Structure 1
Amino acid sequence: MTAVRVPVDIVPRAPAWRSLFWLIPLVALWIVLIYWQPIIPTSGVPTTAHQLTAHALIAVGLWLGLESTDLTPGERRTTWLAVMIPDTLWFAVVWSAAINGAFRTDASPLPMLPLAIFVPVMIGAPLLLLSKRVGRVLDAMPASWLVALQLYRIFGSWALAAWLHGLLPGVFALPAGIGDVLTGVLAVPMAIAVASGAEQGRKAAIAWNVFGLADFAVAITLGMITSPGPFQLIVPAVPSIGAGAYPDVLTPAFVVPGSILLHVLSLRQLMRRRAG
């Protein structure tokens, strides 16, 4: 078997990886806790709490980024509201729909969950990528912010705990849960590497973003083919994520599209740094 050599210039230096010495034990403790007390993830509190926290950090980070630009105060307020109002409304709509069972497979003839995943990305990505103001904010904002923000992906470990309890099929839970945890755990060393200003840190963060997007591609595909509906190819012994039950459905309906947009913005920011 031939080993694949990883180019040295895309591997962050040792200090960035030292964060894993405390981060990995904390993640392991969290997984043990939610396995021992399954009421924690099934309550929906962790998902709601970490998304509200991420939402607040995005709001503050966006404003700080806007303050670093040469936009007028009025333009800053308009830009901030143009981003935060739709994001807030989307979270409220998805949370309400999930609570009321709108994403259950028998609730509508339309594939509501796939629509909830893809529509925000299809609308939001072009608008954000083509916006000159957003580009100016990304140029003014430290590139490490968007990377570190996705530390919340470690909460994807709920899928692993659910699998251990026999509540999710392994064919979905294992690749989706492990991919999410790895993305979240690596967010901190990647952010540290980017903050160092070294070219290898920027390249490593680009690779991390690609991995995070690939994780979603795998998870979305497996979720669709293992869940009841027109795309189902595998019928697992237990219901998959696409069954639409609250609070699990909050992850694909809100966390996934939001995280995809964060990856897209981070990639744009990192690529602009090279171009500049």
Structure 2
Amino acid sequence: MASLIPLSGFLTIAFGARAAGLAGWPRLAGYVAAGLLAWGGLGVALAALEIGWGAAYRLTPVLLALAYALPVLLVVAALRRAPRLRTALGTRSALWRLASIQLARNVGLVFLVLHARGELPGLFTYPAAWGDVAIGVTAPIAMWALWFRDAEVRRPGSGWRKAFIGWNVAGLADHVVAVTLGILCFPGALHVFDVHPTTVVFAGLPMVLFPIYMVPFAAMGHRIMLDAIRRPAGRARRDGVAERVPVLGGAG
């Protein structure tokens, strides 16, 4: 599942930038895919070398928390300085694909499997797994709304807009709850809940990819969707009627 993240990023930017009429959209999408690939590759390399994570060190939960939060904050901040990316991500084509990424949240069912095998505590498993599934199974509704009710989703005060915002906020809240419980059940510097088993399974591959890659990527999608529909209607780019934005050197 994690291996598909660079491809999903490429397709989201490619279709969004093309719909917005941006010149050089293949290169822009390629830069994003390369960045996502490098990010995931770095996380896997650190796990394989047992640097920071890959093993249950005392500070591993602290580092996992930072690995979840920092990429989201950095990307949201960077997008404010990348008008071409914001334009691409603000189109109906891109937003629809960002919502479709949340379908992968159904993979949270694996937590229930690990719990049944005695590898995860129920305190973490039930809210994390069912929270993910709740977002995953409702993602098609968000996708439908973005494609067929795009104008209503963007219109302040509309029911579709309120529902879409609520869905994204719920998705982010699920992440916060899951990451917090995962850290507090992990033996180490932030251990609070004395449960057995602990969440130490998230220290090594492949499960470490959840907190360091898959979860922050999904959180980025929620944040980007919320930011996109908050923009004034006059600035939102619609598929097929977007104005062209000149290329200013690379992806910026």
Question: TM above 0.5, one fold?
Answer: yes
Q: 1:144 aligns with which of 86, 96, 101?
A: 96
Conserved in 1, the CA contact under 8 Å of 2:7 and 2:33? no
- CA distance, structure 1, for counterparts of residue 29 and residue 167 of structure 2: 27
Q: Which string of whole-angstrom CA distances, capped at 9 and with x for unpartnered residues, describes residues 140-172 of structure 1? A: 343322112210010011111111221100111
Q: 1:92 aligns with which of 35, 38, 41?
A: 41
Percent identity over paired residues = 27
Q: Does 1:160 align with 2:112?
A: yes
Q: 1:255 aligns with which of 189, 206, 214?
A: 214
Q: Displacement, 1:211?
A: 0.3
Q: 2:184 aligns with which of 225, 231, 235?
A: 225
Unpaired runs of 5+ residues, structure 2, are: 154-158, 237-252
Q: 1:237 aligns with which of 189, 192, 196?
A: 196
- CA distance, structure 2, for counterparts of residue 130 and residue 209 of structure 1: 23
Q: 2:12 aligns with which of 61, 64, 76?
A: 61
Which residue of 1 is the match for residue 122 of structure 2? 170
Q: Secondary structure at the match of 1:111?
A: helix
The 1:180/1:273 distance shift into structure 2, 3 A limit, reads: farther
Q: 2:28 aligns with which of 58, 76, 79?
A: 79
Q: Which string of whole-angstrom CA distances, capped at 9 and with x for unpartnered residues, describes residues 84-143 of structure 1? A: 222110111112323344312228779332232122123212002442112211233433
- CA distance, structure 2, for counterparts of residue 188 and residue 124 of structure 1: 25
Which residue of 2 is the match for residue 269 of structure 1? 228
Q: 2:77 aligns with which of 119, 126, 133?
A: 126
Q: Does 1:116 align with 2:67?
A: yes
Which residue of 1 is the match for residue 160 of structure 2? 201
The 1:166/1:60 distance shift into structure 2, 3 A limit, reads: same
Conserved in 2, the CA contact under 8 Å of 1:157 and 1:178? yes
Q: TM-score normalised to the size of structure 1?
A: 0.73
Q: Secondary structure at the match of 1:106?
A: coil
Unpaired runs of 5+ residues, structure 1, are: 1-49
The 1:185/1:171 distance shift into structure 2, 3 A limit, reads: same
Q: Which string of whole-angstrom CA distances, capped at 9 and with x for unpartnered residues, describes residues 72-95 of structure 1? A: 32xx35533442222110111112
- CA distance, structure 2, for counterparts of residue 109 and residue 155 of structure 1: 24
The 1:98/1:273 distance shift into structure 2, 3 A limit, reads: farther
Conserved in 2, the CA contact under 8 Å of 1:241 and 1:248? no
Which residue type is aligned with residue 91 of structure 1?
Answer: G
Query: Which residues in structure 2 correspond to 1:177-196 (within 5 Å)?
Result: 177-196=129-148
Q: Secondary structure at the match of 2:204?
A: coil
Q: Which string of whole-angstrom CA distances, capped at 9 and with x for unpartnered residues, describes residues 35-93 of structure 1? A: xxxxxxxxxxxxxxx222343122122112112234332xx355334422221101111
Root-mean-square deviation (Å): 2.3
Which residue type is aligned with residue 215 of structure 2?
Answer: V
The 1:181/1:129 distance shift into structure 2, 3 A limit, reads: farther
Q: How many residues are matched?
A: 225
The 1:237/1:82 distance shift into structure 2, 3 A limit, reads: same
Ranked by relative contact order (alpha carbons within 8 Å, sequence separation 6 or more), the top structure is 2
Q: Displacement, 1:193?
A: 2.4
